[in-house]
Structure 1
Amino acid sequence: MSVEIKQPRGLAHATSRIVLSADQPTGKAPMELFITDEHTEQYLSLQVGGGSDRGMLTGILGGICSSLCLVIGSWMALQGRWEAVIWPVVFGVPLFLAPFLWETLRPLPLPILFNRRTREVYFDHEGTLFHCPWDGIQAVAREFQIVGPYTAGMKNASLEIMVHRYQNPENALMVSLGSPAGKTLEMQKGFWEYIRSYMNNGPWFDKDGNHSNSDNFVKMQLSANIDQSQLLDHWRQTIAEKKAAADGENYLSGIDALMFLGHLMFYPSNLIQNLTYKIAKKRSRNRWPNIVLERLRHNGPATRLID
């Protein structure tokens, strides 16, 4: 089913609104907006709001509080006060296990999937499968301003597509491809070009969106989307680059030292948060219906759900 999205006249004065198509270039370079969950040869998945902070509670309680209890327990053991060692263990282990089990056992929101093989899009809404074919798809990009009493007008831009319920195409949803906060219309056009390049010319493409046998450009785009546990190594590399550029002169500023020590201190917490998120995501993958899971395999069916 193909639905044409038209510009409503009543909104023309209130917001900048354009309709983007799968077969029409936007004139912008492909740009990833830090919401890509997986970019593989078979599919591209985008994070859905509500799941990106999963693991934070475990990281805070497990990485900071439990580590503090471990340090206290080790200190007591070195002093020979074995009777006092048990209390940090009694408090520290539950502080890690309780949030870890709670966050990994709760299912994550399933991502939005763009399947290159079947050329269609999948979306899960509260356990109900929605989908739409890629060929003929249209997206709506809107730019609007939010004005508050203490801030000037802030530009935001949304990017949405329409999907239809499986075996009930009259039931449709408009799905947002990421949060509109902090994005401009030009950025959303670049992100749509990233998706277009993947579906039409991918899985690997160059800075102009043309097909490429190398994944260098895609890796460069995704490298900016680092998780919390990679911040320490990222800042260490930044300091190393400043050292090389300084040619023996004083290169380490106060903010460099502060940021490095801060990331070093929170590294265990960030590492636990990242691990918790990965476990929760792996457990959630099997929540897709079998008709979707089998189409995500490289040798699975290539038929579209609409057929």
Structure 2
Amino acid sequence: MNTPEQPLSNAASAIKLEPDKPTGEQPMELFITDEHTEYYLALKAGGDSDRGLLTGVLGGIGGCALVGLGLIGAMQGKFDITYMTFSIGIPLFLVPFLWETLRPLPLPILFNRRTREVYFDHEGELFHTPWDGISAVANEFQLVGTQIGGMQSASLEIRVWKFEEPENALMISLGAPFGKSLAMQKGFWEYIRAYMNNGPYFDEHGNHSESDAFVKSQLDVRFKMSDSFKQTLAQLKQAKNEADGKNYLGASDVAKLILEPMLYPQDRIQEFTYSIAKRSSRNRWPNVVAERLKANGPTTRLVDLECEIAANQ
């Protein structure tokens, strides 16, 4: 029996999605695309989304403050203060940075345009599926609980199987379902479908385009903490133009102008740390995948390799 605090899932509908049939929705990115390149589309597989935060907090706030004090001390000729602050501030950045970048990030879900297939890493085991004939389903359901009331959600899942063990299959979710509608998930499927069938760049209707304008407009919507101060300045500039000489600054605006520049180093360091960790994690892909992500790599699918292996046995 479910306690009142536990949400209940009320399944409403399930729709089968196919790679060659449109859903009627326009392409829409749902903030989970990690990389959109000419050859592959990488989707975040979940976990460690806050990677780099510890380095940002310790290095961006504590480390930068101590190094700044050390530089002031050096300009005043107080090198004992400089030595002390540098000996604390630099390790305050380096230790968490190395810890966070050397630990592997979860590998993304990869959609390879060149080989027209999907790759997924599950606990160090390689799973895959061809794009043509892929099994995909969107499920709409409602979460009901005393704290959240009724919240409509929808999931988008694809079926993959283990390399060289096709009897071992998984259904994997493309992003978290919570807070997403069925229309949103169908729109994201159209984004993937347009990339695989007409990409790498396409317009708002999913048709091939030589311009990356629409794709960039989708990806640029993703919020970055380091852009907060720039966005605040743009909002205040607009408010000033609309105020017509009147006072346009509120208490919250003043707080943002003070706090956001102080947090900027933390945010930039966190984003930099995440990018380094992501780059180093790419080496964890097996060779059969890594070579197929290259521009001049093989175009044979993993399912074709499985057939060759089976035929030679």
Looking at structure 2, the residues matched to 14 and 190 of structure 1 have their Cα atoms a distance apart, in angstroms, of: 20
Match of 2:252 in 1: 255
- What does 1:210-289 correspond to in 2, within 5 Å? 210-244=207-241, 250-289=247-286
How far 1:194 sits from its partner (Å)?
0.5
2:131 corresponds, among 127, 130, 134, to: 134
TM-score (norm 1): 0.89
2:170 corresponds, among 146, 168, 173, to: 173
Please report the RMSD computed on the Cα atoms of aligned residues, expressed in angstroms. 2.2
Looking at structure 2, the residues matched to 183 and 130 of structure 1 have their Cα atoms a distance apart, in angstroms, of: 26
1:163 corresponds, among 152, 160, 165, to: 160
Match of 1:36 in 2: 33
How far 1:215 sits from its partner (Å)?
0.8
Looking at structure 1, the residues matched to 285 and 211 of structure 2 have their Cα atoms a distance apart, in angstroms, of: 31
- Which residue identity lines up with residue 226 of structure 1 in the other structure? F
Pick which of 143-152 and 297-306 moved more. Answer: 143-152
How far 1:296 sits from its partner (Å)?
1.2
- What does 1:32-181 correspond to in 2, within 5 Å? 32-74=29-71, 76=73, 81-181=78-178
Looking at structure 1, the residues matched to 175 and 11 of structure 2 have their Cα atoms a distance apart, in angstroms, of: 22
How far 1:93 sits from its partner (Å)?
2.2
Q: Is the partner of 2:107 in helix, strand or coil?
A: coil
Looking at structure 2, the residues matched to 214 and 245 of structure 1 have their Cα atoms a distance apart, in angstroms, of: 35
How far 1:67 sits from its partner (Å)?
2.2
Q: Does 1:295 align with 2:292?
A: yes
Distance 1:261 1:144, change over 3 A: farther
Q: Is the partner of 2:155 in helix, strand or coil?
A: strand
- Percentage of matched positions with identical amino acids: 60
Task: Give the unaligned 5+ runs of structure 1.
Answer: 1-11
Looking at structure 1, the residues matched to 150 and 162 of structure 2 have their Cα atoms a distance apart, in angstroms, of: 37
How far 1:252 sits from its partner (Å)?
4.1
**Paired residue total:** 296
How far 1:288 sits from its partner (Å)?
0.9
Structure 1 residues 11-41: Cα deviation after superposition (integer angstroms, max 9, x where no partner)? x973332221111111111100111011111
Looking at structure 1, the residues matched to 277 and 10 of structure 2 have their Cα atoms a distance apart, in angstroms, of: 44
How far 1:150 sits from its partner (Å)?
2.7
Distance 1:72 1:26, change over 3 A: same
How far 1:184 sits from its partner (Å)?
1.5
Structure 1 residues 91-121: Cα deviation after superposition (integer angstroms, max 9, x where no partner)? 3222211110100001111110001111100
Structure 1 residues 254-289: Cα deviation after superposition (integer angstroms, max 9, x where no partner)? 433433433211100001001111111111111111
Q: Does 1:205 align with 2:202?
A: yes
Looking at structure 2, the residues matched to 227 and 20 of structure 1 have their Cα atoms a distance apart, in angstroms, of: 32
Structure 1 residues 112-167: Cα deviation after superposition (integer angstroms, max 9, x where no partner)? 00011111001111111110000111322122223333332222221111101111
Looking at structure 2, the residues matched to 199 and 253 of structure 1 have their Cα atoms a distance apart, in angstroms, of: 48
- Which residue identity lines up with residue 199 of structure 1 in the other structure? M
Distance 1:68 1:185, change over 3 A: same
Distance 1:155 1:127, change over 3 A: same
TM-score (norm 2): 0.87
Q: Is the partner of 2:34 in helix, strand or coil?
A: strand
Task: Give the unaligned 5+ runs of structure 2.
Answer: 1-8, 305-313
Q: Does 1:17 align with 2:24?
A: no
Looking at structure 2, the residues matched to 261 and 135 of structure 1 have their Cα atoms a distance apart, in angstroms, of: 53
- Which residue identity lines up with residue 53 of structure 2 in the other structure? M
